[in-house]
């Protein structure tokens, strides 16, 4: 298991506008509005503190829609099982944009600013997950291994949200200041856990 407490993630403003649904109407926004949005986005980005933990784990079995990894943990999902066909290992990763961006969203002075802070936090967490995938990919390539582009997260594709507990235990996410609610939601809210296949090139 490895931890990075600082990730140099850069999220283009265009992605923020697309998440907000304003990008297609950008030409209709006044110059004053554009300036206000730009300043708010910049302020939100300054509140993000991206960090991550991950490990690459051997897959012991993949059958009957259940993937069992080294150590005995099981991920039950037809979609994940199919995604990991032909993979000998799997990358488990967790990233967070930090608590500061989440607190700033709660304390924003308007609904519009809250939405911007929320969008920046979400996009930053997604970008951090992609950054870790690429970081691990570069490290494994000399060993003849490839990390898949597609990620698979708890709560999607039939993978129960309760498997968050596996990520928290294996990746020691408390070390990153993260906690898990009884309903298996992550705190800080702008956090992502995911799996990606690792196979031979």
CATH of domain 2-200: 3.40.109.40
Q: Which is more confident, 73 or 15?
A: 73
Q: What is the pLDDT of residues 85-131, one digit of tens each?
A: 999 999 999 999 999 999 999 999 888 889 999 999 999 999 999 99
Q: In this structure, is the dihedral angle defined by the CA atoms of residues 163, 175, 93 and 73, taken in order, positive or negative? A: negative
| Beta strands 66-69; 74-76: pairing state | antiparallel
Supply the pLDDT for residue 37: 86
Q: Which is more confident, 11 or 34?
A: 11
pTM, two decimals, is 0.91
Q: Is the pLDDT reported for residue 28 higher than 80?
A: no
Supply the pLDDT for residue 24: 52
Domain residue spans of the chain: 2-200
Tell me which H or E stretch contains 41: helix 31-45
Supply the pLDDT for residue 23: 53
67 in helix, strand or coil? strand
Q: Is the pLDDT reported for residue 26 higher than 90?
A: no
């Amino acid at each position: 298991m490895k931890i990075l407490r600082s990730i140099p993630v850069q999220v283009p403003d265009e992605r923020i506008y697309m998440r907000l649904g304003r990008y297609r109407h950008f030409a209709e926004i006044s110059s004053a509005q554009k300036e206000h949005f730009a300043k708010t986005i910049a302020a939100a980005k300054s509140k993000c503190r991206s960090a991550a933990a991950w490990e690459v784990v051997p897959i012991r079995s993949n059958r009957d829609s259940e993937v069992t990894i080294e150590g005995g943990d099981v991920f039950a999902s037809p979609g994940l099982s199919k995604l990991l066909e032909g993979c000998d290992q799997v990358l488990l990763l967790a990233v967070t944009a930090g608590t500061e961006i989440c607190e700033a969203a709660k304390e924003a002075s308007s609904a519009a600013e809250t939405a911007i802070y929320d969008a920046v936090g979400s996009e930053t967490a997604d970008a951090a997950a992609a950054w870790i995938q690429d970081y691990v990919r570069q490290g494994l390539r000399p060993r003849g291994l490839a990390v898949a582009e597609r990620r698979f997260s708890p709560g999607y594709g039939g993978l129960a949200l309760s498997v968050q507990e596996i990520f928290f235990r294996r990746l020691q996410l408390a070390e990153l200041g993260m906690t898990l609610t009884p309903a298996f939601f992550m705190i800080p809210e702008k956090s992502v856990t995911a799996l990606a296949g690792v196979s031979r090139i």
